[in-house]
Every structure is written in structure tokens, then in C-alpha cells.
Amino acid sequence: GQQLNQSPQSMFIQEGEDVSMNCTSSSIFNTWLWYKQDPGEGPVLLIALYKAGELTSNGRLTAQFGITRKDGFLNISASIPSDVGIYFCAGPSYRNNNNDMRFGAGTRLTVKP
């Protein structure tokens, strides 16, 4: 099926360090999304990518959609304590009109002040 494999599962970093996480799949996705889940809350969309090879930045976040449409990465520069949370890659399945969203297992980020 259209599974998304995220790595690493967890990261413990010092404030100010850069973070890199990635996500791979054996299936092609039309859209590649990154969500963040703050502790005790629901996930919120961070970045959406639509074109193969697309690279986009949003503040300290940089994300790229792989050229094969089967992978992507998310980088966070100069991490701060509020970056703590779980980061999910996601993409719509072909099963229906893109309402069937597949999520990776998540990367849990801990930032030590």
C-alpha cells in the first residue's frame, strides 16, 4: 500500500542546532505534506509541496519533494524550544478524491534549552 516511512523516529537536540528528517515511500504521491503536532494538540499543516523536485522554505523550515515523488525531507534551522513536537509526512492516497490521507509514523523532536 501507500505507506510512508519516516526517519529518524526521534531526535534529541540542543537549542540552536539544525534538524533534518526524511520520509520515503514505495508509491508515488501527487502532493507531499509536512504536519507538526504540538504536545496535547492535533496536527497542523506546515508545508505543502506539489511538484517533483520542488524546494520551498517557510521561515526556518525548508522542505523538498523528491524528484521521483516518492520521498521528501524537512529541515529546521537554528532550533528553538517551541519546535518540540511530532512531525509527520503525509500524502493523499489515490483511493478516492484525495480525502484518504496517509501519514508516516512521525519523528518526535525534543529540543533541550
Partner 1 sequence: EAQVTQNPRYLITVTGKKLTVTCSQNMNHEYMSWYRQDPGLGLRQIYYSMNVEVTDKGDVPEGYKVSRKEKRNFPLILESPSPNQTSLYFCASTLAGATNNEQFFGPGTRLTVL
Please report how close the Cβ of residue 14 comes to partner 1 at its closest, in angstroms: 25
Judged by CB under 8 A, the stretch of 11-19, 40-48, 58-66, 77-85 that binds partner 1 is 40-48
Helix (H, G, I), strand (E, B) or coil at 84: coil
* 52 makes contact with partner 1 (CB under 8 A): no
Looking at residues 66 to 95 of the shown chain, list those that interact with partner 1 (rule: CB under 8 A). Answer: 88, 92
Q: How far is the CB of 41 from partner 1 (least distance, A)?
A: 6
